[in-house]
Amino acid sequence: MNEERFAKSYRKEYENSINDPAAYWGKQAQAITWFKPPEVILTKNDKGLYRWFADGVLNTCYLALDHHIEAGRGDNRALIYDSPVTQTKKTYTFTELHDAVARFAGALHAEGLKKGERVIIYMPMIPEAVIAMLACARLGAVHSVVFGGFAPQELASRITHAKPRFIITASCGIEVNKVVDYMAMVRMSVTLAEHRISGIIVKQREEAPATLNEPLEKDFNSLLSTGEKIACTEVKATDPLYILYTSGTTGKPKGIVRDNGGHAVALKYSMDVIYDTKCGEVFWAASDIGWVVGHSYIVYAPLFQGCTTIVYEGKPVRTPDPSAFYRVIAEHNVTSFFTAPTAFRAIKKEDPEGNYAKKHHASSLKYIFSAGERLDPPTYKWLTEIFPKQKIIDNWWQTETGWPIVANLIGLESYPPKIGSATFPVPGFNVQIMSDEGELLPQDVSGNIVIKLPLPPSCLPTLWEDDALFKKVYLDFAEGYYLSGDGGYKDEEGYVFVMGRTDDVINVAGHRFSTGEIEEVIGSHQVVAECAVIGIIDAVKGTIPLALVVLKDGSVITEDALEKELTALVRSTLGAVIAFKQAIVVKRLPKTRSGKILRKTLRLISEHEKVPAPPTIDDPAIIDEIRTAFSRRKVGIFVS
């Protein structure tokens, strides 16, 4: 590898994007097909907020489907549906997917849906969810996907805030061997919401069909079969494509807005430069369409690129075993695979030696991408052992950006990785490290990760109907900068190390420690499958770290012995000043449905008698499990 050549190539690209963003992204915009190409590349609106390609006209569904059919790729595979929970597989060509989308868009139009109106999609991982999203895009309607299985109160808050005309749902979802009644939750949410909808469109599933209450509730398949194909609606680049609600501490719904033009330009660029995945290859993001990864890299980016995408209705384990991901990769000839570290850790826990991987031939696989949370060094090292011929690539981004902020640009030429770093800022992202007082910090000093404005295309231009909250949450921290909410540092070579949310910092007797660096050390222990570190109140030091540890299957060690070994390991690696001395073994950690560990919830359990289960939690029953573990080890409020 010619490292000097790559360094010059990356630096040239990056510097061009920072020094003249309008010229840089104007050039990248030529890679997609516009109905009217933009002449005005970067502007500010009347609220003083940056906008991209304001005079451009396009349609997102056209780029995903029609464009490829016109280019002669109609018979190529567009989507593979693989559902181990229902033992179902189905493949759509670009022509077949286009026809279904065009018919369903026509049916929605006949039902009265207009350009700019909102539609909430509350569905499991089935092809109809993708069809619904693309049909909305085809009409110029704004979809808001809510993770299937969210509680009625959470769905109701999104109905109230987004004011949708329709809800598109399914009669049920399937969680491993459990059937989830979606209709009961949708009906309750409609009753709770302050906004009245015009209709509920239901995809009936044979596992639990619903009796529909007409005329409000209508059958998805009936509409699809009778709908007349409709052409793409022209939309402005600045018109919204979707709203995606994200968690936060503001107390108000936080609807991330994604526009059509910037989104298409950035995602097409990312498939070339970041993911190095070519037209006709198979790209699999093992996520859910309810999350931003599902929007960007299950639905839109692969289809923009002319790739085959996979809709997988299953889990990394238990559907049927830890071989699930390996089987899909081998069976469908996946080229690029993308999932969160938590999925790998689940597999690692049940199959630490990678015996299941050896049963499947993954010769098609070139890259494994990880995002959603920090790729901790123990998991990275394990992956390199299981996949010695593939490149393991970390990348860091957010719901707010819609695509990576920091990544190894393998589409140019891969750069030597550093374990724990997602490598360098992607062109367009002027990443800096800033103190709490708003001062830029030097190399190797941890602080708040900020991005100098303007943000590149695809990043949120604002929050849905709330410019004031957008400015308060993201822009008021330091003038001219976007506050990411994550902390980290840059080393002497410019590698970016993201250590976690800035509220995941422990202040021990005046010394600040990231939970990420402590977890990195604990995760290196041979029996640890997964861990989470939080700060608990201490009368002397203010806060001290506590580790919750999940053991690898088959591990034999007492909790007291493990605590002693981990204490010695942390102190020898990070120093005695960190005051680490407590570890608790638990069967599992509280996580969101997208797999992120709920550290804030863990802290609250240690400090309060009653802690409600957050709406994003995967299983509310785990709250009592953690309380019992804290009580057993006399942690926090249980110390007495």
Q: What is the pLDDT of residues 159-178, one digit of tens each?
A: 999 999 999 999 999 988 89
| Structural domains of the chain, count | 2
**Tally of CB atoms within 10 A around 146:** 23
Q: Can you state the angle between helices 559-574 and 515-522, rounded to 10 degrees?
A: 120
R_g of the chain, CA atoms, integer Å: 24
Residues 425 and 528 in one domain: no
Look at residue 485 and tell me whether its pLDDT is greater than 70.
yes
Number of H helices, E strands in the chain: 20, 31
Q: Determine the pLDDT at residue 129.
A: 98
**440, 460, 489 — which closes off a domain?**
489
Look at residue 281 and tell me whether its pLDDT is greater than 70.
yes
Residues 584 and 538 in one domain: yes
The stretch 607-631 carries a mean pLDDT of 87
Reported confidence tier of residue 249, pLDDT bands at 50, 70, 90: very low
What's the CA gap between 531 and 542, in Å, rounded?
Answer: 22
Backbone angles phi, psi at 56, to 5 degrees: -80, 150
The stretch 267-290 carries a mean pLDDT of 97
Tokens describing residue 490: 């840059």
Does 494 reside within a domain? no
Q: Determine the pLDDT at residue 241.
A: 98
Residues 569 and 634 in one domain: yes
Residues 232 and 136 in one domain: yes
Tokens describing residue 595: 């797999």
Residues 129 and 256 in one domain: yes
Return the bridge partners of 181, or none: 172
Reported confidence tier of residue 574, pLDDT bands at 50, 70, 90: confident
Q: Find, among 279, 280, 297, 353, the residue nearest to 322 by Cα.
A: 353
Residues 176 and 289 in one domain: yes
| Residue with tokens 């010769």, as numbered in its chain | 363
The stretch 308-333 carries a mean pLDDT of 97
Q: Can you state the angle between helices 182-192 and 152-162, rounded to 10 degrees?
A: 50
Does 559 reside within a domain? yes
Residues 451 and 575 in one domain: no
Residues 472 and 570 in one domain: no
The stretch 44-53 carries a mean pLDDT of 96
Does 355 reside within a domain? no
The stretch 281-306 carries a mean pLDDT of 96
Residues 598 and 508 in one domain: yes
What's the CA gap between 3 and 413, in Å, rounded?
Answer: 9
Look at residue 599 and tell me whether its pLDDT is greater than 50.
yes
Does 378 reside within a domain? no
The stretch 402-419 carries a mean pLDDT of 91
**426, 456, 489 — which closes off a domain?**
489
The stretch 413-440 carries a mean pLDDT of 92
Reported confidence tier of residue 413, pLDDT bands at 50, 70, 90: confident
Residues 96 and 179 in one domain: yes
DSSP 8-class letter at 333:
T
Backbone angles phi, psi at 553, to 5 degrees: -60, 135
Residues 154 and 29 in one domain: yes
Residues 193 and 226 in one domain: yes
- Domain harbouring 587, CATH code: 3.30.300.30
Reported confidence tier of residue 511, pLDDT bands at 50, 70, 90: low
Look at residue 51 and tell me whether its pLDDT is greater than 90.
yes
Look at residue 536 and tell me whether its pLDDT is greater than 50.
yes
What's the CA gap between 105 and 116, in Å, rounded?
Answer: 14
What's the CA gap between 349 and 410, in Å, rounded?
Answer: 30
Look at residue 8 and tell me whether its pLDDT is greater than 70.
no
Least confident of 86-95, 235-244, 264-273, 355-364: 355-364
Q: Can you state the angle between helices 94-110 and 127-139, rounded to 10 degrees?
A: 60
The stretch 70-98 carries a mean pLDDT of 98
b/e code 171-199 from CB counts within 10 Å (16+ = b):
bbbbbeeeebebbebbbebbeebeeebeb
The stretch 304-330 carries a mean pLDDT of 97
Look at residue 108 and tell me whether its pLDDT is greater than 60.
yes
Note the Cα 12 to chain centre separation in Å. 29
The stretch 99-121 carries a mean pLDDT of 98
The stretch 570-574 carries a mean pLDDT of 84
Does 498 reside within a domain? no
| Host H or E run for residue 392 | strand 391-396
Q: What percent of the chain has pLDDT over 90?
A: 77
What's the CA gap between 266 and 269, in Å, rounded?
Answer: 5
Reported confidence tier of residue 4, pLDDT bands at 50, 70, 90: very low
- Domain harbouring 269, CATH code: 3.40.50.12780
Note the Cα 7 to chain centre separation in Å. 29
Q: Determine the pLDDT at residue 6.
A: 41
Judged on CB neighbours under 10 Å (0-12, 13-18, 19+), 569 is middle
DSSP 587-600: S---BBTTS-B-HH
Residue 87's region, left for phi above 0, alpha for psi from -120 to 50, else beta, is: left
What's the CA gap between 307 and 301, in Å, rounded?
Answer: 9
List all residues 6 or more positions away from 510 whose beta carbon is below 8 Å from its beta carbon: none
Look at residue 7 and tell me whether its pLDDT is greater than 60.
no
pTM assigned to the model: 0.86
Does 349 reside within a domain? no
Reported confidence tier of residue 517, pLDDT bands at 50, 70, 90: confident
Least confident of 234-238, 270-274, 587-591: 587-591
Does 329 reside within a domain? no
DSSP 249-302: SSSS--EEEEEHHHHHHHHHHHHHHTS---TTSEEEE-S-TTSHHHIIIIIIHH
Does 380 reside within a domain? no
The stretch 189-202 carries a mean pLDDT of 97
Q: Determine the pLDDT at residue 543.
A: 83
Domain that includes residue 513, residue range: 503-638
Reported confidence tier of residue 614, pLDDT bands at 50, 70, 90: confident
Helix, coil or strand: residue 281: coil
